């Protein structure tokens, strides 16, 4: 039987509370393993330099990697960035797709997510109070989708996409009262990979994904619905699963930055690659 893993949690909200209550974890402020839920990466170098292994839900490509690698070397520690549920879903779906499909030339992942006013990670303010705040929230989360785009490109097409080259177009729809009703963010990487996020106040299910792939044989569509788990929004549950999977792995990983294995024929979602 595996004993509970001591962790420190940086961040607040339902996701942090669920981590604290997890039976496989023991939360202690000075643990050598830190689960990082803050939107601010500024504290990461000091944590790593102090010898603390860190799992953050932030997307890796937006982090100061050279500075973090140096800090990890100083502290003999490891960092893993999961990229939130946006990368987790992309990785799962492309693994399944690539097992049955070859020669994909174009791929699109469509996300339909219901955001309550109380918000879910990484949208603490939900859709936003007005068009300006909705656009700001879309800009703040663009990095998660850029990581998801690269996952799609790597897994389905076999090209390592440059996440920094991703583009995004945001459309905000408001009601008669001026309140935000829907936000659509179109994320693209080149002309073959697209990740569209449609965020609404209401919907049939809290989280739905449609994966549309095109090959010489035609176009196929796969739809997957995610439902709450013990009252936790599925977006936060997916983020939680990824962080917990990485928590023990960072302890056993060599110092530095651990990279997600995007070899989609491997069914372990958090294998580690050498740097």
Cβ atoms of 132 and 140 within 8 Å: the answer is no
Between CA 132 and CA 142, with CA 137 as vertex, the angle to 5 degrees is 125
Q: For a pLDDT cut of 70, what percent of the chain falls above it?
A: 88
- Lowest-pLDDT range of 37-46, 165-174, 183-192, 249-258: 249-258
pLDDT at 15 over 70: yes
pLDDT for 274 equals 35
H helices of 101-198, where? 131-140, 142-152
Beta strands in the chain (DSSP E): 5-10, 25-27, 33-36, 53-56, 78-81, 104-114, 167-174, 180-189, 193-200, 207-215, 218-226, 256-260, 272-273
Residues contacting residue 239 through CB under 8 Å, at least 6 positions apart: 15, 57, 82, 84, 85, 88, 121
The closest of 122, 127, 126 to 180, measured between CA atoms, is 127
pLDDT at 256 over 90: no
pLDDT tier, 260 (very low <50, low <70, confident <90, very high otherwise): low
Considering only residues 259 and 61, tell me which one the structure prediction assigns the higher pLDDT.
61
Distance CA 193, CA 259 (A): 21
pLDDT for 263 equals 41
Q: What is the mean pLDDT of residues 4-26?
A: 90
Q: What is the mean pLDDT of residues 84-92?
A: 84
pLDDT for 159 equals 64
Q: What is the mean pLDDT of residues 120-126?
A: 89
**What are the pLDDT digits (tens) for 127-153?**
998 999 999 999 999 999 988 888 888
pLDDT for 220 equals 84
Cβ atoms of 166 and 188 within 8 Å: the answer is yes
pTM of the model: 0.84
Strands 207-215 and 218-226: antiparallel
Sketch out the chain's domains with CATH numbers. 5-83+236-273 (3.40.50.720), 85-230 (3.30.360)
Between CA 56 and CA 204, with CA 19 as vertex, the angle to 5 degrees is 90
Distance CA 78, CA 245 (A): 14
Residues contacting residue 205 through CB under 8 Å, at least 6 positions apart: 112, 114, 225, 226, 227
pLDDT for 155 equals 74
pLDDT for 271 equals 40
* Cα dihedral 175, 181, 187, 193 in deg (nearest 10): -110
Average pLDDT, the chain: 85
- What would you measure as the largest C-alpha separation in the chain, in angstroms? 57
Distance CA 178, CA 94 (A): 38
pLDDT for 101 equals 63
Q: What is the mean pLDDT of residues 189-207?
A: 92
3 state DSSP class of 140: helix
pLDDT tier, 235 (very low <50, low <70, confident <90, very high otherwise): very high
pLDDT at 269 over 50: no
């Amino acid at each position: 039987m595996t004993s509970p893993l001591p962790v420190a949690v940086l961040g607040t909200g339902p996701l942090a509370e669920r981590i604290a209550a997890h039976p496989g974890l023991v939360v202690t402020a000075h643990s050598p393993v830190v689960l990082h839920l803050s939107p601010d990466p500024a504290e990461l170098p000091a944590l790593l330099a102090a010898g603390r292994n860190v799992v953050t839900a932030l997307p890796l490509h937006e982090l100061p990697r050279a500075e973090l690698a140096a800090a990890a070397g100083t502290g003999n520690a490891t960092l893993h960035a999961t990229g939130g549920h946006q990368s987790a879903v992309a990785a799962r779906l492309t693994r399944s797709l690539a097992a049955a499909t070859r020669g994909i030339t174009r791929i699109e992942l469509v996300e339909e997510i219901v955001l309550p006013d109380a918000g879910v990670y990484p949208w603490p303010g939900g859709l936003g109070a007005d068009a300006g705040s909705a656009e700001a929230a879309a800009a703040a989360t663009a990095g998660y989708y850029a990581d998801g785009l690269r996952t799609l490109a790597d897994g389905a097409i076999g090209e390592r996409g440059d996440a920094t080259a991703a583009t995004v177009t945001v459309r905000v729809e408001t009601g008669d009262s001026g309140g935000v009703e829907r936000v659509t963010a179109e994320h693209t990487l080149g002309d073959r990979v697209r990740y569209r996020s449609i965020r609404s106040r209401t919907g049939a299910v809290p989280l739905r994904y449609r994966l549309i792939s095109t090959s010489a044989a035609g176009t196929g569509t796969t739809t997957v619905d995610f439902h709450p788990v013990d009252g936790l929004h599925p977006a936060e549950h997916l983020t939680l699963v990824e962080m917990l999977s990485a928590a023990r792995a960072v302890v056993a990983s060599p110092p530095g930055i651990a990279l997600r294995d995007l070899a989609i024929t491997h069914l372990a979602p958090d294998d580690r690659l050498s740097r």
